[in-house]
Amino acid sequence: MANVELKNLKKAYDEAEVIRGIDMQIEHGEFCVFVGPSGCGKSTLLRMISGLEGITSGDIVIGDDVVNAIAAADRGLAMVFQSYALYPHMTVRQNLSFGLENINTPRAEITEKIKQVAAMLQIDQLLERRPKDLSGGQRQRVAIGRAVVREPRVFLFDEPLSNLDAELRVGMRAEISALHKRLGNTMIYVTHDQVEAMTMADKIAVLRLGVLEQFGRPLDLYNEPENLFVAGFIGSPKMNFMTGSIDGADRSLLTLDTGEEIRLPEGRFSHQVGQSVTLGVRPNELQPTDEGVLHMEVASVEQLGSDSYLYGALGDGTRLTVHNPGQTRVGAGDQVRLGADPGTFHLFDTASTLTLRAS
């Protein structure tokens, strides 16, 4: 079984702690994505699992083995890098066979494995070419193929699609997901792109400043974020946030800093009278309506044909994004009233940034 468990894992460079006590259980066969902003520690964490980076304290368990002191080459893992890391003087066939030759795999077995993997990844016509003669997408397929032929317990991907153009990224996302379904191995994938995380993952680990902010299924993170950071990071475009306080006489009434009043659904949130809170509403839930209590001045409009995006601000300068299905006649400079179903609201304590969800 190739489950991966991290137990109070820490990494420090002198006095600078970059991984701050992470606990995580990745089950056998899961596709787990580490996501977060630049500098959050996701690539460092992946390199610690791989053995390319030492740990300061804690344990890494792969299967039934604590691998803290086991060399990278002996952990039964295969890593695919952002830069492809192909040998430029070797053909595709030689790149695929190199790792197997190093462990004295019989020649007939190497030939058969390369044949199977090349057909699976549709690179069987490229075996005699060198990396300089390949496109970016072809190079990435070769890099993935080099990992697959080793038949590792766990695949590690470090931002493998970041060098590809947008259209090719979408195609390669689908190919990696299909590969996971075919092989059934545990895969851990690092990206800064939360769209990749949402579309590919069985589980997502959201990291910030070396801390695991939330770990769970993609739609659980989207629908029930545990704090303000996760709510703002998961979802594209990002969630809108408006600050205010709970009315002193009516705990279901939220008064925004703009003075506008919003009725909260009864029994959904665990807020207190007078508490400073942040209201979160996703762009697709805000809609122009004559009954809306929010007054936004539109700064710009993006017309995409099938969708429109309105960008503007409330009276106190709070910026909002509105996703409008279809086309719109609203233009820059217009004043619009916005409303939303209270059942779609998210509420956070402004001081702690934690979700105020009734138990």
Please report which confidence band the pLDDT of residue 67 belongs to, taking 50, 70 and 90 as the band edges. very high
> What are the φ/ψ torsions at residue 14 (nearest 5 degrees)?
55, -115
Q: Please state the pTM of the whole predicted model.
A: 0.92
| CB-based burial, 215-233: b 16+ in 10 Å, e otherwise | bbebeebbeebbbbbbbbb
**Which pLDDT does position 185 carry in this prediction?**
93
- Given the DSSP bridges, would you call strands 186-191 and 203-208 parallel, antiparallel or unpaired? unpaired
Predicted confidence (pLDDT) at residue 359 exceeds the cutoff of 80: no
Average pLDDT on 198-208 reads 96
Domain boundaries, the chain: 4-232, 237-349
Q: Which residues contact 33 (CB under 8 A, 6 or more apart)?
A: 188, 189, 190, 191, 196, 197, 200, 201, 203, 204, 205
- Interval 250-269: pLDDT, tens: 788 999 999 999 999 988 99
Question: Which two structure tokens, joined as six digits, stand for 42?
Answer: 């996701």
Average pLDDT on 278-290 reads 96
- Interval 87-145: pLDDT, tens: 999 999 999 999 899 888 999 999 999 999 999 888 999 999 999 999 988 998 899 99
DSSP-derived letter for residue 159 is: S
Q: Which amino acid, one-letter code, is at 232?
A: G
Please report which confidence band the pLDDT of residue 1 belongs to, taking 50, 70 and 90 as the band edges. low
Predicted confidence (pLDDT) at residue 241 exceeds the cutoff of 70: yes
**Which pLDDT does position 250 carry in this prediction?**
77
User: How is domain 237-349 classified at the CATH fold level?
Assistant: OB fold (Dihydrolipoamide Acetyltransferase, E2P) (2.40.50)
- Interval 181-190: pLDDT, tens: 999 999 999 9
Closest among 208, 249, 248 to 227, alpha carbons compared: 208
| CB-based burial, 87-98: b 16+ in 10 Å, e otherwise | eeeebbbbbbbe
Average pLDDT on 349-359 reads 92
% of the chain residues with pLDDT over 90: 81
**Residue of 14 and 202 predicted with greater confidence:** 202
Please report which confidence band the pLDDT of residue 312 belongs to, taking 50, 70 and 90 as the band edges. very high
C-alpha distances in angstroms, 350 versus 83, 229, 269, 279? 41, 12, 14, 9
Average pLDDT on 191-199 reads 91
CB-CB neighbours of 175 under 10 Å: 16
**Which pLDDT does position 134 carry in this prediction?**
93
Average pLDDT, the chain: 93
User: How is domain 4-232 classified at the CATH fold level?
Assistant: Rossmann fold (3.40.50)
